[in-house]
């Protein structure tokens, strides 16, 4: 079955996929074809039942096909799937987001995390009248031109394009520094401060595997931006409503000017959001000069799925339970690794975790790259054979949902024992 789907998909879809990581290039082997998913499990077209730690790269914190989310979407669909006229549900969604995230005084809904960051960057440039953005190696902010860059060859942080089709001019407006390096960020802000519109950062980096910020690093970025008259943007597309009911900014000593959201707030339907200080947000069209728009923005199905997800998260308040399960699970993984003599470091935060085949937890992208990638590929396939699906890349983070309870996680631990023997 999947052989014929593979042939058909490759004939009409570039690479056979609608987003590159799904093609399994970095782990090799055959990409998956999904049939359906429920709770902690993904069912494939060739009849396999996989315990899912990828969870659509993060949105499915309630597990797949949560009955309340499904009912909300079905109900909304009967009243029409798009109006391009404001609904009360959009207002409720904005009230819920601004209520849960104090620095988010106003918020606009968009269609993806990529769009949210694109809008935040345009807004930062619009209000400061400056052109440059500082980002960090290994942090992902969607696939707009200016964010598809890598650290340049030493020339004062000026980036080079990491994708064909991105112009050198566009890349040159982005600066790239190593994550968690206090001096590198300071040096760049000193050199480019007058041109700097914003620093954008994943406060908990989760797109190079999981890399936690060192103490006071985010506060350092806050002080640097304040001194330079630039904005601080937290890209919380993964961390929003993942670690607590709200943003990581809620519990962080540094408060950003703008926050981007996505993934969880759409409950598995396409959505993004950008929000922050009201005086900044009011610079967006129609009241302000910074243009932004979207035919399907605030789409009633997406908003219904998002509201149902967020209301359920608020009612269940699962965050302490998720973190405790993830702690027990990753502690057990470390124990198995010790028994089997596998050199691996396993950082975790809340319901996020990743496995780096190196002796210590990486603090930046360079250290991430200095891991044994062959060992990751071997673990990935060893687990897949045993019915456990990790995100198909060493640079992605693993996710737990509320359906990943202790018995489910014990099943995963058995698979790891097998994969590491
Ligand atoms: C997933 C992600 C994005 C992009 O979101 P899309 O919905 O895939 O466009 C941006 N930033 C971060 C931190 C992400 O994890």
8 A C-beta contact, residue 259 and residue 275: yes
Domains of the chain: 2-61+318-419 (3.90.1150.10), 68-315 (3.40.640.10)
CA of 420 from ligand 1 middle (Å) equals: 31
CA of 262 from ligand 1 middle (Å) equals: 7
For this structure, is 145 an active site residue?
Answer: no
Mutate to test the pocket of ligand 1, among 56, 114, 120, 121 (most ligand atoms within 8 A of CB): 114
List strands edge to edge, sheet with 174-177.
106-110, 272-276, 258-262, 231-235, 196-201, 132-136, 174-177
Using CB atoms within 10 A of its CB, is residue 293 exposed (0-12), middle (13-18) or buried (19+)?
A: exposed
The CA-based diameter of the chain, rounded to the nearest angstrom, is: 62
Residue nearest to atom 11 of ligand 1 (CA): 141
Please tell me the predicted confidence (pLDDT) of residue 3: 87
Other Cβ atoms less than 10 A from the Cβ of 335: the count is: 11
Q: How far apart are the first and last CA of the chain?
A: 31
Please tell me the predicted confidence (pLDDT) of residue 159: 84
pTM reported for the whole predicted model = 0.98
Which ligand 1 atom is nearest residue 263's CA? Answer: 7
CA of 237 from ligand 1 middle (Å) equals: 6
For this structure, is 263 an active site residue?
Answer: yes
For this structure, is 106 an active site residue?
Answer: no
| Cα 167 off chain centre by | 25
Please tell me the predicted confidence (pLDDT) of residue 329: 98
CA of 225 from ligand 1 middle (Å) equals: 23
- Tell me whether the omega of the peptide bond preceding residue 269 falls within 30 degrees of 0, making it cis: no
Mutate to test the pocket of ligand 1, among 54, 109, 139, 140 (most ligand atoms within 8 A of CB): 140
8 A C-beta contact, residue 271 and residue 302: yes
Question: Given 41, 140, 217, 319, which residue is catalytic?
Answer: 140
CA of 47 from ligand 1 middle (Å) equals: 30
Close Cβ partners of 225 (under 8 Å, ≥ 6 residues apart): 189, 196, 198, 199, 231, 232, 257
Instruction: Identify the segments of the chain with pLDDT beneath 50.
Output: none
Question: To 10 degrees, what angle do helices 300-316 and 67-77 make?
Answer: 150
**Residue ranges lining ligand 1, Cβ < 6 Å:** 112-114, 117, 140-142, 202, 207, 235, 237-238, 262, 272
Please tell me the predicted confidence (pLDDT) of residue 157: 65
Please tell me the predicted confidence (pLDDT) of residue 155: 53
Please tell me the predicted confidence (pLDDT) of residue 153: 61
């Amino acid at each position: 079955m999947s052989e014929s789907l593979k042939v058909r998909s490759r004939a009409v879809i570039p690479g056979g996929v609608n987003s590159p990581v799904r093609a399994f290039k970095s782990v090799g082997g055959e990409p998956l074809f999904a049939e359906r998913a429920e709770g902690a499990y993904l069912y494939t077209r060739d009849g396999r039942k996989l315990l899912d730690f990828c969870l659509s790269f993060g949105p499915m914190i309630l597990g797949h096909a949560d009955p309340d989310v499904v009912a909300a979407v079905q109900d909304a669909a009967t009243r029409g799937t798009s109006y391009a006229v404001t609904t009360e549900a959009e207002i409720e969604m904005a009230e819920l987001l601004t209520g849960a995230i104090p620095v988010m005084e106003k918020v606009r809904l968009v269609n993806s995390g990529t769009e949210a960051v694109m809008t935040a960057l345009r807004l930062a440039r619009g209000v400061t009248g400056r052109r440059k953005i500082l980002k960090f190696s290994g942090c992902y902010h969607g696939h707009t031109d200016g964010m598809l860059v890598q650290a340049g060859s030493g020339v004062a942080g000026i980036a080079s394009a990491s994708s064909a089709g991105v112009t050198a001019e566009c890349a040159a407006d982005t600066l790239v520094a190593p994550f968690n390096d206090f001096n590198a960020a300071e040096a760049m802000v000193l050199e480019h401060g007058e041109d700097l519109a914003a620093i954008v950062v994943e406060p908990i980096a989760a797109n190079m595997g999981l890399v936690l910020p060192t103490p006071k690093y985010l506060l350092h970025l806050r002080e640097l931006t304040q001194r330079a008259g630039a904005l601080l943007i937290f890209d919380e597309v993964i961390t929003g409503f993942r670690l607590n009911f709200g943003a990581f900014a809620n519990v962080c000593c540094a408060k950003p000017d703008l926050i981007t959201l996505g993934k969880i707030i759409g409950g598995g339907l396409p959505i993004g959001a950008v929000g922050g200080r009201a005086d900044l947000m009011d610079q967006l069209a129609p009241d302000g000069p910074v243009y932004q728009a979207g035919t399907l923005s605030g789409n009633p199905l997406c908003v219904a799925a998002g509201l149902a997800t967020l209301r359920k998260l608020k009612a269940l308040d699962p965050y302490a339970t998720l973190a405790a399960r993830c702690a027990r699970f990753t502690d057990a993984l470390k124990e198995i690794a010790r028994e089997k003599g596998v050199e691996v470091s396993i950082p975790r935060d809340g319901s996020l975790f990743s496995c780096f085949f190196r002796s210590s937890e990486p603090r930046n992208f360079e250290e991430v790259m200095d891991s044994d990638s062959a060992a990751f590929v071997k673990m990935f396939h060893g687990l897949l054979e045993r019915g456990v699906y990790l995100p198909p890349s060493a640079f992605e983070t693993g996710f737990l949902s509320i359906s990943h309870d202790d018995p489910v996680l014990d099943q995963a631990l058995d698979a790891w024992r097998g994969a590491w023997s």
